[in-house]
Amino acid sequence: MRKTSQHGQWSSRLAFILAATGSAVGLGNIWKFPYITGENGGGAFVLVYLACIFAIGIPIMMAEIMLGRRGRQSPINTMRDLAREAAGSRFWSWLGWLGVIAGFLILSYYSVIAGWAMAYVVRVGSGVFDGVTSDGVSNIFGQFIADPEKLLAWHSLFMILTMLVVARGVKGLERTVKFLMPALLVILVLLVGYAMEQGSFQQGVSFLFKADFSKITSDGILTAMGHAFFTLSLGMGAIMVYGSYLPSKISIGSTTIIIALADTAVALLAGLAIFPIVFANGLEPGSGPGLIFQTLPIAFGHMAYGSIFGALFFVLLFFAAWSSSISLIEPAVAWLVENKKMSRMRACIWAGLVTWTVGIGTVLSFNIAADLTLFGKTFFDVLDYLTANIMLPLGGLCIAIFAGWVMNKETARQELSLKHAALFNTWLFLVKFVSPLAVLVVFLKAIEVI
């Protein structure tokens, strides 16, 4: 087994934490987690969610990082070699392919939505939404997504920015996340301060943190289980390839816990920034993705300094998307460098072009090809359903099974380097029994079997 990656390694534990947290923190953290928290019992849901994080998210994340560090290659080659080392089936290499393809497909449409955030930085900052009514904001948004040329331009710009970072290798990734993540935190704190001054902060705090255990239902628990898995970017090869750049001396267990808690903290801070503003303007907090592009612009358009802080909010959204996107394409680039003997720049050009081309389908699904559907779903909806509901849960399930049942126990113990045998045994029990069962339930719920 190779003990060093040909792509380089993170310079420090902090660099890896920032990179992995950047991969985990995405568009869903900004609107989805705060909303599902408020709707499912506030503080009571947070407790259930944290329990799910420790039972599902952290064990599988530790397993994915461990596999990456053991293999020191792209997910495809890592799973091929680790299966050989464990005398397992060669078909485990398909787990690597599943993750790489999932990340590639997700980025193809993620880039389009991230382009919207970039466009809204300009629109909100220039005062386009100042004093505009709800119908006016809906019309502006409708006209925007109905224009394929504009969507394609923003999609192209975001893909260029993503590939420029990835082309610079591990050092480029590290320098970028060292800027993006502190900047994201500063913007979040500024927005929370703004919400305290201009919004209904107490109502927002109550919505997020008031513990109402009567709202904890079986559906709420399933929601917590699902988000605990999806929020950490598991099952798409990103964490595995980031783990392959992790120095051997760094503890996987404690580092993973820090990443999970940081991801949760960012999501809760986002809620404290968003919901006081939503409530202060009498708007609906449960409007899903529409909360970002249709509800919040109304609020910012009617508040003091709204254009300034509204623009800051969409910069925050752009930073969150950018830090995630670089991790989504990295596994594919690493494989091209390893297997096709390409330079990193050439691999980035090819991977970026193919991803950009597939993204055109998502661009057109909001306008010209909106009526072109498969099983009642547009091109964008098909990609979203396929990746989120099928590919990622299957990837996470297989990672848990491989780490718990196929990989040699002593090899896992050596890579994790947990100080106490009880900690390793707890992780092994969770990754062998609890985590796979939980992800299987999430998978069955996602495809509407249960």
For residues 381 and 363, what is the distance between their CA atoms, to the nearest angstrom? Answer: 12
Render pLDDT for 338-362 as a digit per residue (tens, 0 to 9): 999 999 999 999 999 999 999 999 9
Count of beta carbons in the 10 Å neighbourhood of residue 81: 19
Domains located in the chain, CATH noted: 13-446 (1.10.4160)
User: In this model, does residue 286 exceed pLDDT 80?
Assistant: no
User: In this model, does residue 160 exceed pLDDT 90?
Assistant: yes
367-387: average pLDDT? 95
pLDDT (0 to 100) of residue 10: 97
CB 409 within 8 A of CB 428: yes
Render pLDDT for 171-209 as a digit per residue (tens, 0 to 9): 999 999 999 999 999 999 999 999 999 999 999 999 899
User: In this model, does residue 450 exceed pLDDT 80?
Assistant: no
For residues 388 and 446, what is the distance between their CA atoms, to the nearest angstrom? Answer: 8
For residues 232 and 251, what is the distance between their CA atoms, to the nearest angstrom? Answer: 18
pLDDT top residue among 313 and 449: 313
Q: Which of 221, 244, 253 is nearest to 430 (CA)?
A: 253
3-class state of residue 374 by DSSP: strand
User: In this model, does residue 438 exceed pLDDT 80?
Assistant: yes
pTM, entire model: 0.95
For residues 269 and 90, what is the distance between their CA atoms, to the nearest angstrom? Answer: 44
pLDDT (0 to 100) of residue 287: 67
Locate 314 and state its tokens.
């969409």
For residues 400 and 392, what is the distance between their CA atoms, to the nearest angstrom? Answer: 12
Rounded to 10 degrees, what is the CA torsion of 99, 100, 105, 109? 100
Q: Tokens 């939404």 map to which residue? A: 129
